[in-house]
Amino acid sequence: SGKWARALAIVKEFDDNCSTPIGKLRQVADAMTVEMHAGLASEGGSKLKMLISYVDNLPTGDEKGLFYALDLGGTNFRVLRVQLGGKDHHVVRQEFDEVSIPPDVMTGSSEGLFDFIAAALAKFVSEEGEGFHPAPGRQRELGFTFSFPVKQLSISSGTLIKWTKGFSIEDTVGQDVVGELTKALERIGLDMRVTALVNDTIGTLAGGRYTNPDVIAAVILGTGTNAAYVERAQAIPKWQGLLPKSGEMVINMEWGNFRSSHLPLTEYDQALDSDSLNPGEQIFEKLISGMYLGDIVRRVLCKLAEEAEFFGDTVPPKLKIPFILRTPDMSAMHHDTSPDLKKVASKLKDLLEISNTSLKTRKTIVEICDIVATRGARLSAAGILGILKKLGRDTVKLGDKQKSVVALDGGLYEHYTKFRVSMEKSLTELLGEEVSANILVEHSNDGSGIGAALLAASHSQYL
Ligand code: ADP
Ligand code: MG
C-alpha cells in the first residue's frame, strides 16, 4: 500500500543519510587528526580539548599496597579496594560495590552529589573485612575516576569544565572536584586522601598498560564515549611546564565533543541534539554512545508512526517519551534471531505498549537498529584510526613488528556484540590486512577502576 511505500522511503532516506563508506571514514579520521593537532597547539584551539592529565608515568607492575578507587561517570558509580602485590604479583585481591545514582542527585546540588558519594564510600569502608586494612598510622588513599571534562591543575586536583551524559549540577562547574569530594569526606568524618584524579579513559589506559606494555591508547564506549592516548611531551605546544622525565604525557582527548562536516548527521540527530541537556555539544558522542543510540531509533519510529501509520492509524503515545527505548533494549531487538522476531515483539509490547505488529514491520525495526549501530561503530573505528595516524602507527615500516594495543572498555562495547564486531571489522577495513596484524583491540575489563587505584599508588604520599 501507499503507507508501506512511504515507510520504506523514510527508512531508505535515513539509511542513505547515515551511510559511512570507507572514503567518508577516512575523512572523519583525517579531521580527527587535524583537530588533535589543533587541540594540542593551544588552549581552546579545537573542539577537542586534548586535556593534559598530569599522568607522565604509567604503571610498571611494582605498585604495592592497599588502595581505593571511586569510579563516577554514568548512572552507576563504583567503589573499589584493591590490594596490589608488587612485582609479578599484580592484583592480589579486589572488592567492589556498585551504587546507582538517583536522577534527582544527578541534577541537584553539588553538596548533595558529593555527600551521596561520600556516604557510599563510608559504608564500603565500614564493611571492610579483617586483614584488609591500611597499614597502621597510614591514611587510606584513593584514586578518583571522574569521567567528565576536567581541567587538571595537578595529578590530584582539577576543575569541572562542564557536565555531560545527563548530569547537570550548575554549582559544580568551575569547582575543584577533589576539593568537593574532600569536603564531603570531612563532613561525614571519613579519613581518606585523594591522591589521583583521573578520567576513565586514563584509568583504562593505566589498567591496560599494567598488564600489557604495548597499550598506547584507551577508548570508552559506554554511556558516553571518549579516548586517551600516550603523547610525546614535545608534541604538546600548549604544555608550559617542565618536560617530564619520561618524555611522555597522557592526553584525555574528550573526543565526544568532536564534530566535523564529514559526520553523517540526520534530521533525527539534529532533533535529539536540540532537545538534549547540552545542545550543540558532544556531537560525536550523540552519534556513537549508549546514552543516545536507542533514542535515535525511537525518533525514527516516531516519524514512521506519524507519517506512514507504521503502527496503525494512531501514534502509540509511549513512543513520544524521550529515552523510553534504551540502548540495551535496542540491542536485544537487534540480536533477535528467532524466525518470527519474538524479542522485537515483546520489547514493543513491554516498553511501548505496541502489539499486533506484522513480521515485516518488525524486520524493518531490526533494520533501523542496524543502521544506527553500524554508523556508530564505524565512526568509532574512524576515531581510532585518527589516533593511530597522529601517532604514525597507521602504516607499517619495513620489518616493523611493533604492536600497538588499544584498550577498550564500556558497557556498549562489552554487551552490544553487533556494535563491537562492526567496529573491529571497520578498523581492519580501514587499516588493511598488513597493518591490522600489528594493531590489537583488547578489552580492558574494569581497567578504569584498577587503573585509578594504580595511579593512586604511584602518587602516594608515602613514596
Ligand atoms: P558508564 O559509561 O556509565 O560508566 P558502562 O561502561 O557500564 O557505564 O556503560 C553503560 C552503558 O552501556 C549503558 O548506558 C548502555 O547504554 C550500554 N549498555 C549496557 N548494556 C548494554 C547492552 N546489553 N546492549 C547495549 N548497550 C548496553
Ligand atoms: Mg564507566
Model ipTM? 0.99
Average pLDDT of the residues in 397-412 = 89
- Nearest protein Cα to ligand 1, atom 3: 74
Calculate mean pLDDT across residues 381-392.
98
- The whole-angstrom separation of Cα 89 and Cα 123 is 29
State the pLDDT confidence band at 145, using cuts at 50, 70 and 90: very high
Q: Whose CA is nearest to atom 13 of ligand 1?
A: 223
The catalytic position among 165, 343, 347, 389 is: 165
**What is the per-residue pLDDT across 251-280, written as a single tens digit (0 to 9) for each?**
999 999 999 999 999 999 999 999 999 999
**Ligand (nearest to CA of 200):** 2
Q: Which three cell numbers stand for residue 107?
A: 541534577
Q: Is 214 a catalytic residue?
A: no
* Ligand 2 centroid from CA 119, angstroms: 20
Instruction: Compute the average pLDDT of residues 429-457.
Output: 93
The amino acid that residue 9 corresponds to is: A
- Measured between alpha carbons, how far is residue 321 from residues 188, 237, 262 in Å? 39, 46, 30
pLDDT in tens, 172-194: 999 999 999 999 999 999 999 99
In the chain, the amino acid numbered 256 is G
Which atom of ligand 1 lies closest to the CA of 75? 3
> Cell 569521567 belongs to which residue?
147
Contact partners, residue 126, CB within 8 Å, separation at least 6: none
CA angle 311, 317, 318 (to 5 degrees): 95
CA of 69 to the centre of ligand 2 (A): 13
Q: Which atom of ligand 1 is closest in space to residue 290's alpha carbon?
A: 16
Ligand that lies nearest to the alpha carbon of residue 413, given by its number in the listed order:
1
Residue 207: pLDDT above 90? yes
Ligand 2 centroid from CA 5, angstroms: 42
Rounded distance between C-alpha atoms, residue 229 and residue 249, angstroms: 9
Task: Provide the pLDDT confidence category of residue 316 given band limits of 50, 70 and 90.
Answer: very high
Report phi then psi at 78, rounded to 5. -125, 145
Cα of 444 vs centre of ligand 2, distance in Å, is: 12
The grid coordinates of residue 351 equal 516498553
Catalytic pick among 71, 115, 200, 336: 200
Residue 135 has pLDDT above 70, yes or no: yes
- In angstroms, the CA 200 to CA 420 distance is 19
Query: Which ligand minimizes its atom distance to the CA of 256?
Result: 1
Q: Give nearest CA residue, ligand 1 atom 6.
A: 410
Nearest CA to ligand 1 atom 7: 411
| φ/ψ (deg, to 5) at 46 | -160, 160
For a ligand 1 pocket test, name from 148, 219, 416 the mutation site with the most ligand atoms within 8 angstroms of its C-beta. Answer: 416
Q: Is the pLDDT of residue 28 over 90?
A: yes
pLDDT of 136 reads 84
Average pLDDT for residues 448-458, to the nearest whole number? Answer: 93
CA of 244 to the centre of ligand 1 (A): 36
Residue 348 has pLDDT above 70, yes or no: yes
- The question of whether 350 is a catalytic residue gets the answer no
Are 95 and 123 in contact by the 8 Å Cβ rule? The answer is no
Given a cut of 70, whether residue 149 has pLDDT beyond it is yes
- Mention every residue, 6+ apart, whose C-beta is less than 8 A from residue 222: 73, 74, 200, 289, 290, 409, 410, 411, 412, 413
Q: Which residues line ligand 1 (CB under 6 A)?
A: 73-75, 222-224, 290-291, 327-328, 331, 410-412, 415-416
Ligand 1 pocket, mutate which of 412, 414, 421, 422 (most atoms under 8 A from CB): 412
Which atom of ligand 1 lies nearest, measured to the CA of 73?
4
Question: Closest ligand 1 atom to the C-alpha of 289?
Answer: 16
Over residues 4-24, the pLDDT tens digits come to: 999 999 999 999 999 999 999
Give 66-97 pLDDT, tens digit per residue.
Answer: 999 999 988 789 999 999 998 877 888 899 99
Mean pLDDT for the stretch of residues 408-419: 97
* pLDDT value at 128 more than 90: no
Ligand nearest to the backbone CA of 369? 1
Q: pLDDT-derived band of residue 398, with 50, 70 and 90 as boundaries? A: low
Say yes or no to pLDDT of 133 above 90.
no
CA of 449 to the centre of ligand 2 (A): 9
Residue 122 alpha carbon to ligand 1 centre in Å: 26
Could you tell me the pLDDT band of residue 322, with boundaries at 50, 70 and 90?
Answer: very high
Q: Measured from the CA of 224, which atom of ligand 1 is nearest? A: 2
Residues of the chain with pLDDT > 90: what percent?
90
